[in-house]
Amino acid sequence: MIIESRFRARQGCDILCMSPLMNSEETTVVANCVVCGEPIGPHMLAWCDACSQPYHLNQRNDLPGDDCGEVWISEEHLGLQFACNLCLHPEPEAEPGGLDDVLDAGEAAEFVRVPRDELVAAATAGNVRHRRTAGGTYLFERGDLIEFRQGRR
């Protein structure tokens, strides 16, 4: 037997509503992805269990979208576990000052996930620390690029 009744306000709740981050419209931006910095739509929202930040995870087969993390079934907890790519694949700690720490403009642009021309323009404007060789090649240190990428979020 199903009994229908009107919702009554109790314990400080006067309306039924969804989470403040959720919206019933599919086109509404919910948050920005911790991995790529792009806006996340409601059908793409997932929260990382490790860092508690939102990331892209396409939860629908009928809508397009790229994933910035993963979800899997935990055999230990018998539930879903969510993790962003930053927590799943952390950047290795390289020894400062090594040759692996110096990147040219193409490698640096790929590392910070911006177009090469945009990174060169940011370096020319003084927004990211760099060196320029006599031949005109831009060189960047990995630590400076990490600071630049974090400043863009």
- pLDDT tens sequence for the chain (153 residues): 555 555 454 544 444 444 444 444 445 667 889 998 889 888 889 999 999 999 999 888 888 888 999 999 989 888 999 999 999 988 776 565 566 788 999 999 888 888 999 999 999 999 999 999 999 999 999 888 988 888 764
Among 116, 110, 120, CA closest to 142: 110
Among 17, 73, 68, CA closest to 41: 68
The tokens of 60 are what?
């629908």
Among 17, 40, 18, 45, CA closest to 28: 40
* Per-residue model confidence (pLDDT) at position 16: 44
Report which secondary-structure segment, H or E, holds 37: none
CA pair distance 84, 50, nearest whole angstrom: 8
pTM of this structure: 0.47
101, 131 contact by CB (below 8 A): no
Q: Which domains does the chain have, with CATH numbers?
A: 31-88 (3.30.40), 99-152 (1.10.1660.10)
